[in-house]
Every structure is written in structure tokens, then in C-alpha cells.
Amino acid sequence: MEELYKYLSPFIAAFLASYGTYLFTIRGKKYDILLRERITAFKTVQQRIVSLKRYCLAMIAEYEGNEFAPHFEGLSDEDKMSALEHRAKLSHIVEDNLIFLSHSSRKSLNELDGQLSLLCNLELLLAGNPDETIKSSAKSAYDATFSIIESCIDELYSELKLPK
């Protein structure tokens, strides 16, 4: 029995080593594929959020009267949409990439969606009644949206666990 063990033990050790290597290689490839897909999804979400950020900055500059900041007229067609259009596009992108987002990222993006809903209502109200009191609160609404956008970007970046 001992002699049989002497002859079989190198084969058993080689088999176990090969099987372990196989398992770790598969796990590594799965992680690489998941990370690549996750980066693509985050990049798509981030591009839409940055477009919204440009829009908010332009609207803040418009209400502040800041002539050095980018204005609405200078935005690209992709950025020059209403809050409702930005909200709809962001919603579709988030739904398409939901599987790659963590609970905290989804929570952050839901908070942004809620703020965009308020912004949509404000823009609708401004279109129907351009009252000065409403215009004064519009800047603070865009500021609040901008700060939520910044926290969403930070959350998405931290979720990737990339070195800073």
C-alpha cells in the first residue's frame, strides 16, 4: 500500500495543483470581465451625469448673471436639454446598467432622480409663470442638484475601488 502511495502521490499532487490553478484562473477571469463591464456601465452613467452637471452650471450662471461661466447658449446639443430630458435619459441609462450598481450607488442616483423631479416641476412653473420670487429659488434648486451630482460622481468612483 505504501509503495502504491509513493507512485500515486505525485499524480495526486499535480492534479490538486492543476485544479487549484484552474479555479483561481476562472475566478480571476470572471472578476476581470465583471470589472470591464462595470467600468463601461459606470462610464455611461458618468457621461450622462456630467452632461447634467454642465447644464446645471450653465443655469446657475444664468441666474447669477455670471458672464465668465458657461451659459446655456454655449452648451452642446447633448447638454442643452431640459431637466426633464436629462432625467429621462439618466433614468434609461441607470435602468440599463442597474446590475452593475451597488445599493449605495442606486440610493445616490435615486436621490438625484428625486431632485431632478423637483427641478422639472420648477422649470415647468418658470415656463408658465416667470415670477421673480420663483426665479430666485431656481438658483438654489440648481445648486442643490449640482451638489447631489457631485456626491453621485464620488459614490460611483469609490465603488470602482480604483487608487486615487
The full set of domain ranges for the chain reads 38-160
* 111-136 burial code (b ≥16 CB/10 A, e <16): ebeebbeebbebbeeeeeeeeeeeee
Is the per-residue pLDDT at 86 higher than 70?
yes
Instruction: Report pLDDT digits (tens) over 118-131.
Output: 999 988 888 887 77
Instruction: Report pLDDT digits (tens) over 28-53.
Output: 788 888 888 888 889 999 999 999 99
Query: CA end-to-end span of the chain, whole Å?
Result: 58
Confidence of residue 85 (pLDDT cuts 50, 70, 90): very high
pLDDT at 15: 77
> What is the spatial distance between Cα 2 and Cα 92, in angstroms, rounded to a whole number?
67
Instruction: Report pLDDT digits (tens) over 58-84.
Output: 888 887 776 666 767 777 888 888 889
